[in-house]
Amino acid sequence: MSISAQNILDTLTHVRYPGTGKDIVSSGMVGDVSVEGNKVSFSLTFQKANDPFFKSVVKAAEQAIITYLGEDVDVRGHIAVKFKELPQVSKDESLLPGVKNIIAVFSGKGGVGKSTVSVNLSVALASLGYKVGLLDADIHGPSVPKMFAAEHEQVMAEERNGKQLMIPLEKYGVKFLSIGFFVDPKNALVWRGTIAGNALKQLISDAHWGELDYFVIDMPPGTGDIQLTLVQNLSITGAIVVTTPQEVALADARKGVNMFMNEKVGVPVLGLVENMAWFTPAELPDNKYYIFGKGGGERLAQELGIPLLAQIPIVQSICESGDEGRPVFLEEKGIFLSLARNLINKNNEFQQK
């Protein structure tokens, strides 16, 4: 059977928005309907960010299409979720006045590649001509200084407008500071909650970051006090979540996404990055081995209604470059440029709303 846009709309009148009890078509929530062969896509617009019903409405819409139009209709993952307004949360606007976009790079679990993504995304954005700052806020394992081979560099302070301000270091066009310059990693565990939060706040407010297009924050993994302090004190424009495809990592990533999307926090999650998605040995360049499982990132992105911004394979050069203090972006430009472009597009979409 060939499907028309009208078939889709007719079918979707069977789905109700629980908040009003009205069907989603007459509520004006359905748009951008497109049919290409078996592939059906459309958008659903919700009034508020973090609408409590958005996931269940997306699921119900998918189910309705499959029930009424047939099992072989390809609709899962093709429903774009849009929000009309973002919640207004009062934040300290005087922090980072010259910064246009603050992007938090987050992971539920440690060791999944958050710092690798933060560093290489920053260098990719800088290579596209943007002014970029990077803050390594990972109190448990600051690794940006090592990734930039800057562990032994000193941070200077200068007087600006009557205030002593730290001058961020700069590598590959990226200005950066790290909590690692101030804390001996061996003592990191004693830095708890608000103390760590305040130290981080100083790295933000007492540093001369100047005018920046993107300020990337390598967040500590997990959803504790430090993360909340940061998120509540800064006007974060968007978060990206890094995960590996294993179930445990996905479960933790899910928790993290919920923290950002929580009504009180109200930070849009711009998308997911699946790291260590597969491994291709150099001698078998056409083979992909899904060491940590296949398609986990894609499924989680679909479930949460957020885009999959990039899939990064396991590449030996990524591991080596991290250890040697040279961003792997310099060799693997394609992956990180496409991540940077996808992020910019998604972020612009949210800014225009």
The site for ligand ATP (CB under 6 A) is made up of: 107, 110-116, 138, 141, 143, 221, 275-276, 312, 314-315, 318-319, 322
How far from each other are the two terminal CA atoms of the chain, in whole angstroms?
A: 37
In the complex, the smallest distance separating the C-beta of residue 243 from ligand ATP, rounded to whole angstroms, is: 10
In the complex, the smallest distance separating the C-beta of residue 114 from ligand ATP, rounded to whole angstroms, is: 3
Pick from ligand ATP, Mg ion, none: which does 301 bind, CB < 5 to 8 A by kind?
Answer: none
* 152: amino acid identity, one letter: H
Residue 269 parent element (H or E): strand 269-279
Q: Which is nearer to ligand ATP, 93 or 186 (CB)?
A: 186
Per the CB < 8 A criterion, the answer to whether 36 and 93 are in contact is no
Q: Which is nearer to ligand ATP, 115 or 227 (CB)?
A: 115
Q: Tokens 């894609």 label which residue? A: 298
Q: Which is nearer to Mg ion, 113 or 297 (CB)?
A: 113
Pick from ligand ATP, Mg ion, none: which does 318 bind, CB < 5 to 8 A by kind?
Answer: ligand ATP
In the complex, the smallest distance separating the C-beta of residue 256 from ligand ATP, rounded to whole angstroms, is: 12
Q: Which is nearer to ligand ATP, 126 or 253 (CB)?
A: 253
What is the rounded distance in angstroms from the CA atom of residue 100 to the CA atom of residue 241?
Answer: 20
In the complex, the smallest distance separating the C-beta of residue 328 from ligand ATP, rounded to whole angstroms, is: 8
Q: Which is nearer to Mg ion, 115 or 302 (CB)?
A: 115
Pick from ligand ATP, Mg ion, none: which does 33 bind, CB < 5 to 8 A by kind?
Answer: none
What is the rounded distance in angstroms from the CA atom of residue 83 to the CA atom of residue 261?
Answer: 12
CA atoms within 13 A on the CB side of 3: 25
* 96: amino acid identity, one letter: L
C-alpha of 269 from chain center: 6
Pairing relationship of beta strands 39-48 and 79-85 according to DSSP bridges: parallel
Q: Which is nearer to ligand ATP, 46 or 278 (CB)?
A: 278
Q: Tokens 């003592």 label which residue? A: 187
In the complex, the smallest distance separating the C-beta of residue 187 from ligand ATP, rounded to whole angstroms, is: 17
Pick from Mg ion, ligand ATP, none: which does 276 bind, CB < 5 to 8 A by kind?
Answer: ligand ATP
In the complex, the smallest distance separating the C-beta of residue 15 from Mg ion, rounded to whole angstroms, is: 42
Pick from Mg ion, ligand ATP, none: which does 300 bind, CB < 5 to 8 A by kind?
Answer: none
Pairing relationship of beta strands 163-166 and 157-160 according to DSSP bridges: antiparallel
Per the CB < 8 A criterion, the answer to whether 229 and 203 are in contact is no
Which residue's Cβ lies closest to Mg ion?
115
Q: Which is nearer to ligand ATP, 107 or 127 (CB)?
A: 107
Q: Which is nearer to ligand ATP, 49 or 339 (CB)?
A: 339
Per the CB < 8 A criterion, the answer to whether 298 and 250 are in contact is no
Selection from 40, 57, 51, 31 nearest residue 1 by Cα = 40
How many CB atoms are located within 10 Å of the residue 200 CB?
27
Pick from ligand ATP, Mg ion, none: which does 51 bind, CB < 5 to 8 A by kind?
Answer: none
CA angle at 267 for the pair 148 and 105, rounded to the nearest 5°: 15
In the complex, the smallest distance separating the C-beta of residue 140 from ligand ATP, rounded to whole angstroms, is: 7
**Phi then psi for 323, rounded to 5 degrees?**
-70, -30
In the complex, the smallest distance separating the C-beta of residue 170 from ligand ATP, rounded to whole angstroms, is: 21
Footprint of Mg ion (CB under 5 A): 115, 138, 143
What is the rounded distance in angstroms from the CA atom of residue 276 to the CA atom of residue 6?
Answer: 41
Pick from ligand ATP, Mg ion, none: which does 319 bind, CB < 5 to 8 A by kind?
Answer: ligand ATP
